[in-house]
Amino acid sequence: MPGFIGVHLGAGDHAESLVKEYTKLSNKACKKAFLMLESGASAVNACTEAIMILEDSPLTNAGLGSNCTWDGDVECDASVMDGHSLQQGAVGAVSGVKNPVCLARNLCMERSERLSMGLIPPSMLVGDSARAHAAKVGVELVPPEALVTAEQQRRYNKYKRRVTIAPEDQMEDTGAEWEPARLDTVGAVCVDFQGHVAAACSSGGIMLKSKGRVGQAGIPGFGCWAQDARGDIDAVAVSSSGCGEQLIRTFLVKETATMLEESICAVRGLKDALKLKYLESPLSLKEEEKLAGLIVLKYNPLKDIGEFIWGHTTKTMCVGLMSTAYSHPMSRVSLNTKPGEIAKVEGTAFKCRGKFN
Amino acid sequence: MPGFIGVHLGAGDHAESLVKEYTKLSNKACKKAFLMLESGASAVNACTEAIMILEDSPLTNAGLGSNCTWDGDVECDASVMDGHSLQQGAVGAVSGVKNPVCLARNLCMERSERLSMGLIPPSMLVGDSARAHAAKVGVELVPPEALVTAEQQRRYNKYKRRVTIAPEDQMEDTGAEWEPARLDTVGAVCVDFQGHVAAACSSGGIMLKSKGRVGQAGIPGFGCWAQDARGDIDAVAVSSSGCGEQLIRTFLVKETATMLEESICAVRGLKDALKLKYLESPLSLKEEEKLAGLIVLKYNPLKDIGEFIWGHTTKTMCVGLMSTAYSHPMSRVSLNTKPGEIAKVEGTAFKCRGKFN
């Protein structure tokens, strides 16, 4: 009777040819997290483990194989939230850390222990200092260039050349020749055997981003959110993907969590959030392309009734899940034919404690 | 008929002996910004100018004379929001930039210009890369150690010694002997002659913070918020001070902006926000000390009716303001005798366009 794990491999434009690979990877992450939940792991730790597997795959834009910065480096953002302690941990623009999500998890856990003399443990660390902290607390380091894959190097060379060589043609080039946009941040939401929830996410950010740029995935409350049930209010967990600057300005993750809490049905809550707080929000009126994807979880621990829902305004979104009600992980790529204009929302109900089995 | 500027020199525990100095500094910042508004400057630029004056003073915990990190450096956070374009700029953990707020303003303005080839200008830059960006765009650099004042060096030595030398006594030492806490982030809110609003803030963060730690002042939407009037909804601007991790988790700045928009009276809106979204919020239940301060502005450009209100849960908060209705800047230190328990809220109405004169 362990719990529930749901993951995403980003909202973006997943290549048709790679769907099998995405599904396999998503299944692997779900299965690993689920086995941990079965052994009594906390939601925070199971989430972290799932994200580590996604980071370690060159398929995703997180950890190994992330998009390169303008200078050709990999710099990662990641964050974790524990719905029980309500603590958050986030790292931004960190290079040379094999699993940025581990460092975020670490900060989240350190926040639970009060430091002496009124010192306040940070919820967010960035840049070289974040890497130094990783070394101090035993989070695995790698040479920064080890996270740049040959495939990403090739894409970097191609785009950098195009952007820098012909500045006078740039405005006419509408990007039609670009390969599928790799907005594919990864994320996870989880319920553990005690009914606590957690959420996490990790991202390499946008291709050719400025060095030092931090997107929503590296900021507490912007990349993910988790809050346990309290009184009549269900537990909720949210993890995001999409254009960081838009997700930051619209507070989409937190707005979605609030709407989920207030709505009877998670599908309705997520639909409303994507419509009212994103696509039609006065805060994103001036955006040319509105690209976001969310996975959300709403769970009532007393009734053991849960919903896992995904929604995206991008062409595709890849999601996976596993709970007691399913004997094996289920992953799929959700399709949407009008990127940036409408939100597609789908999902499933789940049970955590095996009453179905 | 220029507009309105309101500033704060932080919520914390301002030394009685320095009140005259604080008042003088606050007046200077207000006067400079107001003169700019009279010459037709935008709200964003007037805000930035006011903050620059506050950063340049060693009295405040921003720019020159900021609190030192655990390693004895100064690392600054700053952010700016333009209520007209709704663009944001933020810098986190940046060292060796004389006026961090200028760099934040720069990012905010660059966001208004769409880059070619779908490249998205960052709303947040951190660490050494932020400093490198400052060099590139002509924001003034200084040697990092130039921002460490002798006074801050003395405080750093004192606290660092106390924390590191006697670890076994740390839990009993309740901090009673500490000098007044320097949470005094600075901030500004502004209305310009076109009725556009803006907000900004800047902070050196907490004493002995980890290197690389970013607090609310360095994150878009957490340190400040500004949004022009639309339809029936008044323009609002908010700038914050206090414990960064608490302000981040509670989304206090944005929650306050929303409550201000929804309430008829700004005093009521700010009181409710500090009570419901901070002091009594489920998100800050476990905090030992709840320390925050906000300045807010609510403005109806059609009626030219504005309110400038400040509220704090700390012992003191220092604020200043200037508008057409006052012939000179007015600054004061607001007192509150129960830090962390109740919120004191005060303020004033203002006119922008000289109908009083």
pLDDT by residue (tens digit) across B60-112?
999 999 999 999 999 999 999 999 999 999 999 999 999 999 999 999 998 87
Asked if the C-beta of A125 comes within 8 angstroms of chain B's C-beta atoms, the answer is yes
Residues linked to residue B197 through DSSP beta bridges, in sequence order: B191
Select the more confidently predicted residue: A144 or B350.
A144
Q: Which residues of A touch B209 (CB under 8 A)?
A: 120, 122
Indicate which residues of A carry an active-site annotation.
Answer: 185
Asked if the C-beta of A220 comes within 8 angstroms of chain B's C-beta atoms, the answer is yes
Chain A nearest C-alpha distance from B290 (Å): 13
Mean pLDDT of B136-163: 94
Q: Which residues of A touch B178 (CB under 8 A)?
A: 118
Burial category of A35 from C-beta neighbours within 10 Å (exposed 0-12, middle 13-18, buried 19 and up): middle
Query: A4-153+178-349 architecture in CATH?
Result: 4-Layer Sandwich (3.60)
Cβ of B210 and A125 within 8 Å?
yes
Question: pLDDT tier at B51 (50, 70, 90 boundaries)?
Answer: very high
Nearest CA in chain A to B131: A212
Cβ of B221 and A248 within 8 Å?
yes
**In the block, which residue shows the tokens 């930035």?**
B48
Q: Give pLDDT tens digits along chain A (357 positions).
A: 689 999 999 888 888 888 899 999 999 999 999 999 999 999 999 999 999 999 999 999 999 999 999 999 999 999 999 999 999 999 999 999 999 999 999 999 988 776 555 678 899 999 999 999 999 999 999 999 999 999 999 999 998 888 887 555 554 444 444 554 566 789 999 999 999 999 999 999 999 999 999 999 999 999 999 999 999 999 999 999 998 999 999 999 999 999 999 999 999 999 999 999 999 999 998 777 899 999 999 999 999 999 999 999 999 999 999 987 676 788 888 887 778 888 999 999 888 865 433
Q: How far apart are CA B54 and CA B50, in angstroms?
A: 7
Mind listing the pLDDT tens digit for each residue in B201-220? Answer: 999 999 999 999 999 999 99
Asked if the C-beta of A177 comes within 8 angstroms of chain B's C-beta atoms, the answer is no
Quote the tokens at residue B105: 């303003």
> From edge to edge, which strands make up the β-sheet containing A224-227?
A224-227, A235-242, A292-300, A305-312, A344-350
Question: pLDDT tier at B254 (50, 70, 90 boundaries)?
Answer: very high
Asked if the C-beta of A143 comes within 8 angstroms of chain B's C-beta atoms, the answer is no
Residue B350 has pLDDT above 80, yes or no: yes
Cβ of B85 and A286 within 8 Å?
yes
User: Which amino acid appears at position B236 of this protein?
Assistant: V
Chain A nearest C-alpha distance from B348 (Å): 29
Cβ of A117 and B162 within 8 Å?
yes
Q: Which residues of A touch B213 (CB under 8 A)?
A: 122, 124-125, 129
Residue B173 has pLDDT above 50, yes or no: no
Q: How far apart are CA A227 and CA A266, in angstroms?
A: 15
- For chain B, the first-to-last Cα distance in angstroms comes to 9
Give me the catalytic one of B23, B48, B60, B185.
B185
Q: How far apart are CA B206 and CA B185, in angstroms?
A: 9
Q: Are A332 and A291 in contact (CB under 8 A)?
A: no
Asked if the C-beta of B173 comes within 8 angstroms of chain A's C-beta atoms, the answer is yes
Quote the tokens at residue A128: 């070289």
Asked if the C-beta of A211 comes within 8 angstroms of chain B's C-beta atoms, the answer is yes
Beta strands in A133-203 (DSSP E): 186-191, 197-203
Q: Are B319 and B310 in contact (CB under 8 A)?
A: yes
Count of CB atoms within 10 A of residue A135's CB? 12
Asked if the C-beta of B248 comes within 8 angstroms of chain A's C-beta atoms, the answer is yes
Mean pLDDT of B346-350: 90
Q: Which residues of A touch B245 (CB under 8 A)?
A: 111, 120-123
Q: What is the pLDDT of residue A14?
A: 83
Q: Are B333 and B349 in contact (CB under 8 A)?
A: no
Q: How far apart are CA B151 and CA B156, in angstroms?
A: 9
- Per DSSP, B42 falls in state -
Cβ of A116 and B159 within 8 Å?
no
ipTM of the complex in this document: 0.93
